[in-house]
Every structure is written in structure tokens, then in C-alpha cells.
Amino acid sequence: MPMKEIVDANPVLRKRLYAAYASVGTVLGAIEVAFLALPDESTPLWLRVAIAVYLFVGGAFGFGARTKVDAQPVDVTSATEVVFEPGTGRHRAEPGV
């Protein structure tokens, strides 16, 4: 099963990946601020590289997240059943019969 299908079909995994990405960004940002606060200290090369890679990967995360926000509100008053679409991570309301 391709990684895209695993991630798309698993909202909990997506939530954890996004939380981990945000946590890494917070840590990198805090380290950068700490170095900037020191007098006459320059940012270490490893930190500059890590931030550059983090920002590059952020584009992929952003595009991935964007594909998950196309959902429209569902009128649940006329729906009797919510159907989960396997492999897509999406669901839809089926109208009552």
C-alpha cells in the first residue's frame, strides 16, 4: 500500500505527523532565538541547514494538508447514514431512504 493511501486513510496518523512537524519547528525556532540572543554568536551551520530542510519539507506538508480541507458541511438533518470511503480518509452523508 503506498504511503499516500496509508496517510490519507488514517486521520490519527495525519494528526500525529502534523503535531510532530509543528513540535520540530518550535524546537528549531527556540534554538535559533537562543543563538540570536547571545552577543557575538553566529548561528551554527547545522542549525541553518536544519531550518532550511524544515522549511522545504513544510511545503510538502502544506500541500498535503490542503488536499484534506475540500470537505463541505453536511446537512445531517436529512442524512440517515454516514459512509466512510475506504482508502480516502473521507466520509459522506447518504440521504435518507
| pLDDT tens digits, 29-78 | 999 999 999 888 788 999 999 999 999 999 888 877 777 666 555 555 65
Query: Whole-model pTM?
Result: 0.59
Residue 10: pLDDT band with limits 50, 70, 90:
confident
Cα–Cα nearest to 55, from 31, 28, 37: 28
Asked if 89 contacts 10 with a C-beta cutoff of 8 angstroms, the reply is: yes
